[in-house]
Structure formats: structure tokens, C-alpha cells
Amino acid sequence: MSAPQKSPASGERLPPRAGVDPVERDGMVAKMTDGWPIPLHLINIAATVLAEHGVSPETLLSGFGMTPRDLCDGRLVLPYASFLAIIQRAVHLSPIPDLGIEVGLRVRPTHWGVLGLAVSCCKTLREALEIGQRYHRVSSTLNRLRFLVENGECYWIAEPPCDLGDAIRFSMEEEFLSVFLSAPLLTGRAVSALRVDFQFSAPDYCRRYDEIFRCPVRFGAPRNQIVFDQNTADIPLIQANEITAAIATDLCEVFLAEHQSTNSFVMKIRQALLQRAQSFPDIEEISKEFKMTSRTLRNRLSEYNTSYREILNSVRQQLAFNYLRNTSLHFEEIAWRLGYSDSRSFRRAFYQWAGVSPNSYRKQLY
């Protein structure tokens, strides 16, 4: 159990927090997913959907050292923790609650990069799902994916490697919709699911699940999975090509070998700030940590089209959402943890991020 904490702003003793501190959790995510860089295809689609609803790509990417043009660069990858942080921000910024569905409706095998080519050239749907399981990290996914056949049924199982927080529903909706809607494109025929299971509770818009999947949908299930009849796995693919499939799988191996880790300078700055939450260093201090002058640091960051202030504000935003969702801390305490002089400054900043007050945001969660 965590020891009680003392807020210098109020002088009061605070009750222990339940669960994992959001700052500690971000550090845990980085450790648990080290060496798992992710291509940007999914963020690109999410940015497109958000833009159609009035949220600019610049707002989504602020503080990550990226521009909207970067989202179209198939060579770029992000560390898992940073990819997750952007998806979480997309969920927070989204004016629509079913962002995951809207994104999933647009994903096709071509959005899976070289994995999409490998999958499309397989002989059967079974082989395609087995290749998807083996090389899922080549695609733009937050989940570990498994293909299982037993008791006359096929299971496509999605298992996050860490707590996805607000992004869990988005991630599962996109994952299963993209597979379900891609199956007819790959096979040239209608493919039906027996059922779809989700671990989270039913959202207000759950009727959309019934309309899209057209099969029983269970919420609060033991695991996240889409279930097919075993015979479905033997359906042949219309673009099967053994030679091209072999070449594409080799390219998947090359991708994994070449992207065992990522060392983005901006991501290192973000990680350093997350580790110093409650006492964020100024630019002079952070420059010394990176063994350079503040001028050099500014110039390096300008090469990534960002600044130290933008990165700091982005980290504050990420932590603010996590604190409001995962703790019962008072706004004064959150303001202090984020380095604001008073709760009024924090409320003003949060409204700029979310379009609602911290109090309204927290009420919407329950």
C-alpha cells in the first residue's frame, strides 16, 4: 500500500491512491513494450477521422515532434508507449464516442503494410490468420494477436501487453472490425462470425456492434476475441500467390530485425519528463541531463518541428487525463503534480485540451 502523501499546496494528508500511479504506469508501459516500435498507419486513419469532426492533425500530434506529413511516411515507426499516448489523446479529443468503430470501418489489408501483402497472398484464411499472428507487430496494432482452433471453432484473440487505459475500447473495436471486414475482401465471399466477445462493458452505442457484426456480441467476457466456425478457416483467398507470399514474409522478418528498438530524441525528452513529474525541469536543467546547451537542445527540437514547451504541455496533458481517470485526487493536487501554480491555471489549460472542465470530464467517466 502506498504511503499517504502530503501536498505542499494544501498541507493536508491525502489518502493512499488505489492502483498504479499514472506516472509509474507510463514507465511500466515503456519497460513492458521495449523493442516494440509501431508503424503509423492507424494514427493516420484516426487523424483523418478526427479532422472530419473538427480536430486538426496538428492538435493530435502536438508535443510528439511530428507533423501531419509524417503520418504518410511508411518508413516511420513510434515506440509503443508514444503510439499509445497519441491514440489515448485521439480518444480524449474525439467529439464522437465510437471513434474505434469509425476507424475500423476504414481499415483494409493495404493499411497493414507489408503484412497486408503477406496475408493477401496466403492460400486460405487459416494461413492468413497464422501469418497475422506471427507478424502482427509489423502492422499498426496495440495488441498481441493469437489464432486458435479448438472444439470446431476458430478464435482471433487480442491481448494488450499492458493497460491501455482509455484506448482499450478503441483498440478492440478497430482490431476486430478490420479483421471482420477484410475477410470478405480476401476471400471474395461473405464471412460470418459466430460471436464477438469484449472484456469491457457495453457502451451507449452498442447497437452499432449488432448492425456491423450481425452476430451475438458479449460484453464483460473473459477475453477479447472474434469467433468463427472452423470451416471458415479453410476458405481460399482469391489472390493466393505462394511466391509473393514468401517474399512478403521475408520482408516482415526484415522489418522486425531492423526495428528492434527506436531512439527518437523527442521520445527521450518525453520519457525524461514523465520520470520527473511533480518537479518538471526547466530547459536549462534538461539540457544538462542530455549533455548539451539549451541552445543546442532548442535547435535539435526545432528539427522535429517542436519545442520544449510543446513537449512539456503534451506530457502535462497526458498525465492530466490519466490522473482524472485513474485517481480520485483533488484538482488542487493534480495542478501541483503537473507544475501549475494554482488550480485555476490547471483548469484553464485542461479546458484548452479537452473543451470541457476537469470536473465535467471526470463526471462523464461515471
Specify the pLDDT at position 354.
81
Could you tell me which residues come within 8 angstroms of residue 80 by beta carbon, excluding any fewer than 6 positions away? 29, 30, 33, 36, 37, 38, 142, 161
Cβ(348)–Cβ(359) below 8 Å: no
Confidence (pTM): 0.76
How far is it, in rounded angstroms, from Cα 61 to Cα 301? 14
Which has the closest alpha carbon to 236: 203, 175, 191? 191
What H or E segment, with its residue span, contains residue 166? Answer: none
Q: How many residues does the chain have?
A: 366
Q: Flag whether pLDDT at 55 surpasses 50.
A: yes
Q: How confident is the model at residue 72 (pLDDT cuts 50, 70, 90)?
A: confident
**Per-residue confidence at 187, pLDDT binned at 50, 70, 90?**
very high
State which amino acid sits at residue 218.
Answer: R
Residue 24: pLDDT above 60? no
Sign for the CA dihedral angle at 276, 281, 283, 285 comes to negative
Output the CA angle 38-44-50, nearest 5 degrees. 130
Position 89 pLDDT exceeds 50: yes
Are the C-beta atoms of residues 113 and 39 closer than 8 Å to each other? yes
- Would you state the pLDDT for residue 7? 38
Tens digit of each residue's pLDDT (9 = 90 or more) over 299-317: 988 877 789 998 898 888 8
Q: Is the pLDDT confidence value at 267 over 80?
A: no
